[in-house]
């Protein structure tokens, strides 16, 4: 999955920067440029989903009443499940998961894969922070189960991070192991985790449905960007070998 195609956009990007450039510098350029583009696209998605589409009568009503419905059907068991769903995509568990994966690949000298494992979360988090600083939306007006800034509803960072980390690891796993059983188990599992996380964040009164959609788009964008950067670095390495 992280290997470049000879005539693909990643190879073109590496060639445009100079065929003799070090793969690390090409990787850094792709990350920095992609992060700016990803943040801009995320902010643009916020204006589109929230400021434009989110103000249409039917969609606005459905978007805002779903959280009220969830809040009205809270039970101790569901609240506990929502807490677990938030924790598995939170700021403690995900850094551990991505960090352990990165260390495991680094010990095997799989540097690009190690960078992919750790930077998928870093890129997503940076783009999320940039979006929440530039685009403000009030959180649902229900009793919220967490004390977080009230003007940072869009996008759902937990949803984005779950896709970036768990989705990223599943993509890597299924690209290296072609077994139908692995794919049949791993892909539905990551979809289930993402849905659980998104529902948990809405249940706890932290996000509207459109916020979780924005988070899903951000997570997918972060994955695409880090794959592109890894492929560009791979293409740069091939070019340097040819020069030598």
Q: pLDDT tens digits, residue range 24-73?
A: 999 999 999 999 999 999 999 999 999 898 889 989 999 999 999 999 99
Establish if 92 belongs to a structural domain: yes
Q: Is the pLDDT of residue 244 over 70?
A: no
142: containing domain: 37-232
Tell me if the bond preceding 155 is cis, omega within 30° of 0: yes
User: Does residue 201 lie in a domain region?
Assistant: yes
pLDDT in tens, 124-151: 999 999 999 999 999 999 999 999 999 9
Of 244 and 10, the one with more pLDDT: 10
Global pTM value? 0.94
Is position 13 within any domain? no
- Asked whether residue 219 is assigned to any structural domain, the reply reads yes
Written in H, E and C, the secondary structure of the chain is: CCCCCCCCHHHHHHHHHCCCCCHHHHHHHHHHHHHHHHHHHHHHHHHHHHHHHHHCHHHHHHHHHHHHHHHHCCCHHHHHHHHHHHHCCCCCHHHHHHHHHHHHHHHCCCHHHHHHHHHHHHHHHHHHHHHHHHCCECCCCCCCCCCCCCCECCCCHHHHHHHHHHHHHHHHHHHHCCCHHHHHHHHHHHHHHHHHHHHHHHHCCCCCHHHHHHHHHHHHHHHHHHHHHHHHHHHHHHHHHHHC
Tell me whether residue 240 is in a domain.
no
Query: Is 20 inside a domain boundary?
Result: no
Report pLDDT for 216. Answer: 97
In total, how many domains does the chain have? Answer: 1
The answer to the question of residue 67 being in a domain is yes
Give the other-Cβ count within 10 Å of 151's Cβ.
12
What CATH number did the domain enclosing 92 receive? 1.20.144
Beta carbons within 10 angstroms of residue 197's beta carbon:
29
Q: Is 208 exposed, middle or buried (0-12, 13-18, 19+ CB in 10 A)?
A: buried
**What pLDDT, on the 0 to 100 scale, is given for residue 73?**
95
Quick check: is 149 in a domain?
Answer: yes
């Amino acid at each position: 999955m992280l290997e470049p195609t000879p005539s693909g956009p990643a190879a073109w990007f590496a060639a445009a920067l100079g065929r003799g450039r070090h793969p690390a510098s090409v990787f850094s350029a792709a990350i920095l440029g992609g992060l700016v583009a990803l943040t801009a696209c995320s902010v643009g998605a916020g204006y589109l989903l929230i400021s434009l589409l989110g103000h249409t009568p039917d969609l606005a009503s459905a978007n805002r009443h779903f959280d009220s419905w969830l809040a009205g059907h809270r039970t101790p068991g569901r609240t506990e499940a929502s807490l677990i769903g938030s924790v598995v995509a939170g700021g403690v568990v995900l850094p551990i998961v991505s960090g352990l994966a990165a260390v495991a690949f680094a010990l095997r000298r799989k540097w690009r894969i190690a960078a992919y494992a750790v930077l998928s979360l870093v890129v997503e988090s940076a783009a999320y922070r940039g979006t929440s600083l530039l685009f403000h939306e009030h959180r649902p007006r229900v009793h919220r189960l967490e004390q977080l800034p009230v003007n940072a509803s869009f996008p759902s960072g937990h949803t984005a991070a779950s896709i970036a980390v768990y989705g990223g690891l599943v993509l890597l796993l299924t690209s290296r192991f072609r077994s139908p059983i692995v794919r049949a188990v791993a892909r539905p599992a990551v979809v289930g985790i993402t849905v659980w996380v998104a529902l948990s964040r809405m249940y706890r009164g932290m996000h509207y449905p459109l916020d979780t959609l924005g988070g899903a788009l951000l997570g997918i964008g972060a994955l695409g960007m880090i794959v592109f950067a890894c492929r560009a670095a791979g293409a740069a390495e091939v070019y340097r070998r040819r020069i030598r």
